[in-house]
């Protein structure tokens, strides 16, 4: 529980910055800096065409299609090896994150960035980023299971670093494509990590043998 408190505090700070007039100028300055840096004078994403296509590919790794598909594969793998409680823990974390993100998007109803023309289509509100939040939740849960199975420090550290890099790249790709403010992504990372920790801890207490 304590390890999730800094992430929860960061998320609540960003929510407060959206709501409180005194904090909005700070949030606006923060949100505009990176998107402007990533665009050229015509408002197009900087970099060669292959880089922008790569950003779309990385972004797709955080899509609902990929995350739900991956989650179902992991749940099935746990179930086939007789680890039903771990399968349930992954399902609760993943689908709980989707439900929580959907509710927050509807409640906060922040519009998508309008500084530039987005480089991909979007269909929902902006805060918090679903790509960032749900990928952070699922990747954290999977990485922790893989790390627990290691008997040496080096592989566990490699898994942790690779998981963190993947989540960061997915979030940054959303900013590069112009479909999220940086604070949307930061809030998604914070809440996704916190939810993974909270859901995992709750399942460990309620479901013996869930790891």
Read off the pLDDT of residues 58-99 as tens digits, 9 standing for 90 and up: 999 999 999 999 999 999 999 998 888 889 989 999 999 999
Q: Which residue has the higher pLDDT, 202 or 112?
A: 112
**Continuous H helices in the chain:** 5-19, 24-37, 49-60, 64-80, 84-108, 130-148, 153-176, 182-206
Quickly state the pLDDT bin for 2 (edges 50, 70, 90): low
Whether residue 18 contacts residue 27, with contact meaning beta carbons closer than 8 Å, is answered with: yes
Residue 33 makes CB contacts below 8 A (sequence gap 6+) with 182
Total residue count of the chain as it appears in this document? 211
Ranked by mean pLDDT, which of 47-56, 62-71, 202-211 comes out on top?
62-71
Q: Is pLDDT above 90 for 43?
A: no
Q: What is the mean pLDDT of the chain?
A: 89
Residue 103 CB coordination number (10 Å): 10
Domain ranges of the chain: 2-37+49-206
Q: pTM score, two decimals?
A: 0.90
Tokens 């099935």 belong to which residue? 76
């Amino acid at each position: 529980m304590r390890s999730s408190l800094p992430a929860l505090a960061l998320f609540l700070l960003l929510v407060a910055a959206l709501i409180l007039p005194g904090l909005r100028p700070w949030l606006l300055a923060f949100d505009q800096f990176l998107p402007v840096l990533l665009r050229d004078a015509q408002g197009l994403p900087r970099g060669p065409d292959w880089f922008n296509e790569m950003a779309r590919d990385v972004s797709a790794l955080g899509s609902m299609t990929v995350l739900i598909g991956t989650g179902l594969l992991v749940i099935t793998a746990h179930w086939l090896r007789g680890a039903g409680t771990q399968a349930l823990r992954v399902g609760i974390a993943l689908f709980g994150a989707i439900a929580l993100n959907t509710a927050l998007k509807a409640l906060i109803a922040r519009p998508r960035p309008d500084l530039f023309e987005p480089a991909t289509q979007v269909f929902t509100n902006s805060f918090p980023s679903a790509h960032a939040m749900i990928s952070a939740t699922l990747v954290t849960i999977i990485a922790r299971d893989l790390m627990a199975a290691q008997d040496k420090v080096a592989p566990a550290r490699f898994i942790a670093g690779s998981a963190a890099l993947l989540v960061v790249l997915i979030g940054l790709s959303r900013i590069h494509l112009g479909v999220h403010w940086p604070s949307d992504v930061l809030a998604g990372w914070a809440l996704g990590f916190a939810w993974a920790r909270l859901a995992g801890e709750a399942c460990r207490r309620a479901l013996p043998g869930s790891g």
